[in-house]
């Protein structure tokens, strides 16, 4: 069962999440991070950047792998995930850009890009801590409903709802790509630790289905239930559909108390 932490707002979530990242990086300076994009992880990245600036953590040895990339969008395009990761993560944190990878969305033999990315992750020793968001239809990464629970990095068609959700990043809805290359659900589950973030009432239904519904390809985010070390950080609005929210609050308070007890 995932550890569920319900917080006031995205800023508090970023503080809690960054402390988890900081602990991982302090324990292993050569940590391999799995990096998500979009608005959800921004407060986490901002809090991490502040910790780097203050000298609390050293990220010089940290490596990273993005979850996904648009198909047919060149890396230099401002809305490619290579560009987004550079703007939102690499530059603010001061990561070595040569040690941060995104799936290849262009070039020859594009059908081989998934296998290439899987090999890169394996060569790096696997992902230590993967940050995730969840879409309003329950997708994680770009694993849309119906994705195999054991899938690996591959090309996927984007659902129309996902394209609508991402249209705000483009000049017009028609410019939103129709396909992507994404880490699979099986790839995500191989990460040693998962950290899923969700904010806002529009995510409440997806969060409830992912955490308290059956594990199903209809709700790709539900695979988080199968991971032995998963943490979910959500605000009150995203927690609105949870049947066991009070228990999660109690469990989190109890966990904080344990840190103060000398057994």
pLDDT score at 7: 96
- Predicted TM-score (pTM) above 0.75: yes
pLDDT score at 125: 98
pLDDT score at 174: 86
pLDDT score at 146: 95
Establish whether 77 is a catalytic residue: no
Domain-wise residue ranges, the chain: 3-258
Q: Please report which helix (H) or strand (E) contains residue 72, including its range.
A: none
- Name the residue with tokens 């953590």: 57
CA-to-CA separations, 195 to 8, 209, 229, 259, in angstroms, rounded: 17, 17, 9, 20
Q: Could you report the per-residue pLDDT of 192-203, keeping only the tens digit for each?
A: 999 999 999 999
The residue from 88, 139, 166, 235 that is catalytic is: 139
List, in order, residues 6 or more apart from 226 with CB less than 8 Å away: 149, 189, 215
3-258 fold: Rossmann fold (3.40.50)
Establish whether 139 is a catalytic residue: yes
Q: Could you report the per-residue pLDDT of 97-151, keeping only the tens digit for each?
A: 999 999 999 999 999 999 999 999 999 999 999 999 999 999 999 999 999 999 9
The residue from 88, 144, 165, 235 that is catalytic is: 144
Q: Which of 59-73, 151-165, 209-223 has the lowest mean pLDDT?
A: 151-165
pLDDT score at 263: 45
The residue from 68, 69, 88, 235 that is catalytic is: 68
Number of H helices, E strands in the chain: 9, 10
Establish whether 137 is a catalytic residue: yes
Taking the C-alpha atoms of residue 183 and residue 178, their distance in angstroms, rounded to an integer, is 17
Taking the C-alpha atoms of residue 244 and residue 189, their distance in angstroms, rounded to an integer, is 24
Taking the C-alpha atoms of residue 124 and residue 180, their distance in angstroms, rounded to an integer, is 23
DSSP string, 139-163: -BTTB-TT--TT--SEEEEPPHHHH
Establish whether 144 is a catalytic residue: yes
């Amino acid at each position: 069962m995932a550890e569920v932490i319900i917080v006031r707002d995205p800023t508090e979530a970023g503080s809690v999440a960054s402390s988890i990242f900081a602990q991982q990086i302090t324990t292993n300076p050569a940590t391999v991070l799995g990096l998500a994009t979009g608005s959800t992880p921004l407060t986490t990245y901002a809090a991490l950047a502040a910790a780097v600036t203050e000298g609390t953590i050293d990220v010089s040895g940290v490596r990273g792998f993005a979850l996904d990339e648009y198909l047919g969008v060149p890396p230099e395009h401002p809305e490619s995930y290579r560009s987004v990761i550079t703007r939102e993560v690499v530059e603010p944190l001061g990561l070595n850009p040569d040690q941060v990878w995104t799936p290849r969305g262009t070039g020859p033999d594009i059908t081989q890009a998934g296998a290439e990315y899987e090999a890169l992750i394996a060569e790096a020793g696997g992902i230590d801590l993967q940050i995730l968001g969840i879409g309003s239809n329950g997708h994680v990464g770009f694993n849309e409903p119906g994705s195999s629970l054991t899938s690996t990095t591959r090309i996927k068609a984007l659902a129309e709802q996902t394209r609508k959700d991402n249209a705000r990043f483009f000049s017009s809805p028609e410019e939103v790509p129709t396909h992507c290359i994404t880490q699979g659900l099986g790839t995500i589950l191989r990460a040693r630790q998962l950290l899923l973030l969700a904010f806002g009432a529009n995510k409440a239904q997806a969060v409830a289905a992912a955490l308290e519904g059956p594990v199903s390809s209809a709700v790709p985010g539900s695979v988080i239930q199968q991971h032995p070390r998963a943490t979910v950080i959500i605000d009150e609005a995203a927690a609105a559909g949870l049947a066991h929210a009070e228990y999660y609050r109690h469990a989190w308070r109890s966990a904080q108390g344990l840190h103060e007890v000398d057994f």
